[in-house]
Amino acid sequence: MTDPAGGPAAGRAVDPAAGPAGGPALDPAPVIEMAGIAKTYPGPPPVHALTDVTLDIRPGRLAAIVGPSGSGKSTLLSVLGLLDVPTRGRYLLQGRDTTDLSERARTALRASTLGFVFQAFHLVPHLTCVQNVALPLVHLGVPRARRRPQAVAALESVGLGHRLDVRPTTLSGGERQRVAVARAIVHRPAVVLCDEPTGNLDTANSARVMDLLTGLVAQDRAVVVVTHEPEVAARADRVFKVVDGRVS
């Protein structure tokens, strides 16, 4: 996989194995900082899905979010992904405070800096693979002439250069999730957020998708993976454990 844009920290050696033990001196500046984040779903009865969450996410690192079902992992991911607004707390994305942004501004920031991979793939069935992968570019307003080449490059980078113009419904689950990964990176976001990306895949396909995600880390992107699977968590540089809406 190639990323001509590289990154500000492209020259720095990032050894995933060194991970959290890499020492504060080597740690890149966080791309996401959260402090005192709480999320309460208004009831009745109100659900305190997140309580006082403080964490940061750094480029070139794979972070895993683990925890029992209903503990608040998806809620945390939706706040991280600017898909939902926290009830309380501060959330800085690339140093910008997002908590006071209007919905439009939040949408804009999300579209340009974040990429998403979902457990259920969320590929649009009536679009071809290239059209699906190009969706972020469409909604970002990237000029049409640049879209297809970029989408093709992204699909090639996930090993699906031969599946450009077919509908995703003709693909296997593993292939579909790779299309979704291509879509998550086509606009070169700083952070890729994944909700159980391997939840619907067998072991071989899970490994392949995780390889792709670790490849992104090597390009200095921040990757956040919500997961149930110990093998996935084992690959992470940093593991956040969520229990009852609290992160440890």
Partner 1 sequence: MFRSRRTRERSADVEAGPDAEGTAPAAPRTSAADLLVQAFLALFGRRFRTLLTMVGISVGLAAALATLGITASAAGAVSDQFDALKATRVTVKYPSEPVAGVRPRPDGGDAQRVRGLNGVRTAGLVSKAGEQPVVSRLASGGSNDLPEGTVLAAQPDALPAMSAELTQGRWFDTGHDARRERVALIDTAAASRLTVDGGAGNSVIHVNGVAFSVLGVFRAPTGDTDLTGSVVVPYWAALQDPAGLGFAPAEMIIRTDLGAADQIGAEAPFALAPGAPDKLVALVPPDPRSLRQGVESQTRALFLGLAAVSLGVGALGVSNTAYVSVLERRSEIGLRRALGASRRAVAGQFCIESGLVGLAGGVVGTVLGIQITAVTCLAKNWLVVLDPVLTTAGPLVGLVVGLAAGLYPALAAARILPAETLRAGV
Choose one: 17-25, 95-103, 202-210, 229-237; the region binding partner 1 (CB under 8 A): 95-103
Q: Is there a contact between 129 and 164 (Cβ–Cβ < 8 Å)? A: yes
Q: What dihedral do alpha carbons 96, 37, 17, 185 form, nearest 10°? A: -50
Shortest distance, position 239 Cβ to ligand ADP, whole Å: 15
Closer by beta carbon to ligand ADP, 190 or else 236: 236
Shortest distance, position 72 Cβ to Mg ion, whole Å: 9
193: exposed, middle or buried (Cβ count in 10 Å: 0-12, 13-18, 19+):
buried
Closer by beta carbon to ligand ADP, 119 or else 128: 119
60: how many CB neighbours lie within 10 A of its CB?
Answer: 25
Buried b (16+ CB within 10 A) or exposed e, 25-47: eeebebbbbbeebbbbeeeeeee
Enclosing H/E stretch for 213: helix 203-218
Write the binding mask 31 to 50 for partner 1: x where contact by CB under 8 A, - elsewhere.
----------xx--------
Candidates 59, 136, 168, 245; binder of partner 1 (CB under 8 A) is: 136
Q: What dihedral do alpha carbons 189, 194, 200, 202 form, nearest 10°? A: 80
* CA pair distance 246, 243, nearest whole angstrom: 5
Helices (H), 100-202: 103-113, 129-140, 144-157, 173-185
Residue 127 partner contact from partner 1, Mg ion, ligand ADP, none using kind-dependent CB cut-offs of 5 to 8 Å: partner 1
Choose one: 22-30, 66-74, 98-106, 124-132; the region binding ligand ADP (CB under 6 A): 66-74
Say whether residue 81 binds partner 1 (CB under 8 A): yes
Choose one: 11-19, 24-32, 102-110, 156-164; the region binding partner 1 (CB under 8 A): 102-110
Count of residues binding ligand ADP (CB under 6 A)?
Answer: 11
Q: Is there a contact between 213 and 194 (Cβ–Cβ < 8 Å)? A: yes
* CA pair distance 124, 86, nearest whole angstrom: 29
Say whether residue 219 binds partner 1 (CB under 8 A): no
The token duo for 140 is: 């970002």
Residue type, position 136, single letter: P
Which residues bind to Mg ion, rule: CB under 5 A? 74
Say whether residue 47 binds ligand ADP (CB under 6 A): yes
Say whether residue 73 binds ligand ADP (CB under 6 A): yes
Closer by beta carbon to partner 1, 195 or else 220: 195
Task: Give the residues lining the site for partner 1 (CB under 8 A).
Answer: 41-42, 74, 77-78, 81, 83-85, 87, 96, 100-112, 116, 118-120, 122, 124-127, 131, 135-136, 138-141, 144, 195
The residues binding ligand ADP (CB under 6 A) are: 41, 47, 49, 67, 69-75
